[in-house]
Amino acid sequence: LDATLQSAGLGVASIRDLATSVPINVVAVPAEDVAKIGSPYLSVIIPNGTYEGQTEDVATAAVGNFLVTRADVSDETAYQMTKLMFEHLDQLAAAHAAAKAIDPAKALDGMPVPLHPGAEKYYKEKGLIK
């Protein structure tokens, strides 16, 4: 294997497993290159030590995870789903460590579709959008 490109959460098992069996080189994607590409890509850092043999932080491109629904889902249902998710991040983090990085203030970064009115209501209540 000479190269692989994966869109997955930090510490993804496939790359972790590869790094434990052969030396790997995590190639940087500089923030300025990510900015040229634009949405939905975000510039993030793969922290030092995420993968065996990775000895420094590495800049990369990422895409966010978005909860998407149909337009005919009621405003109240979309509102409650958004509220419950953000107000119970500790439970999400207990299920998957990547949830520790969820920041409601950054949740709309790279948003590829319009917000559902119910989700928009929650963000407005929290002062995250006007």
What gap in Å lies between CA 51 and CA 13, rounded to an integer?
Answer: 10
| CA atoms within 13 Å, Cβ hemisphere of 57 | 7
pTM comes to 0.68
Of 37, 22, 34, 40, which is closest to residue 58 (Cα–Cα)?
A: 34
Q: What pLDDT, in 10s, does the model give residues 71-101? A: 899 999 999 999 999 999 999 988 887 788 8
What gap in Å lies between CA 92 and CA 103, rounded to an integer?
Answer: 12
Mean pLDDT on 89-114: 85
Domains of the chain as residue ranges with CATH: 13-63 (3.40.190.10), 75-125 (no CATH)
Helices (H) and strands (E) in the chain, counts: 5, 2
| Residues 42-55 as b or e (16 or more Cβ within 10 Å = b) | bbbebeeebbeebe
Q: What pLDDT, in 10s, does the model give residues 18-56? A: 999 999 999 999 999 999 998 888 899 999 999 999 999
